[in-house]
């Protein structure tokens, strides 16, 4: 994770060690790469709607 300063430079604020064998970390990176920020709000709403229907049993 990083913050952007006034000049546009990124300053790291979270650095975690990892190895190539860390499957959960690799899975998270793959998910971040697939993420489309332009449609993120719509995807979150649709996911929440589908989950609520699943819980109700419809």
Which pLDDT band holds residue 58 (cuts at 50, 70, 90)?
A: low
Q: How confident is the model at residue 7 (pLDDT cuts 50, 70, 90)?
A: very high
Which pLDDT does position 6 carry in this prediction?
93
Beta strand extents in 1-58 (DSSP E only) = 2-4, 10-12
pLDDT digits (tens, 9 = 90+) for 15-54: 888 787 888 888 888 888 887 777 778 888 888 888 888 7
Q: Contacts for 9-14 with beta carbons within 8 Å, 24 or more apart?
A: none
pTM of the model: 0.37
Distance CA(3)–CA(13), nearest Å, equals 7
Q: How far apart are CA 38 and CA 35, in angstroms?
A: 9
């Amino acid at each position: 994770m990083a913050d952007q300063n006034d000049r546009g430079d990124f300053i790291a604020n979270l650095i975690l060690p990892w190895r190539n064998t860390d499957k959960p970390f690799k899975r998270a990176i793959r998910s971040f790469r697939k993420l489309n920020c332009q449609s993120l709000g719509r995807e979150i709403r649709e996911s929440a709607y589908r989950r609520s229907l699943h819980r109700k049993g419809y």
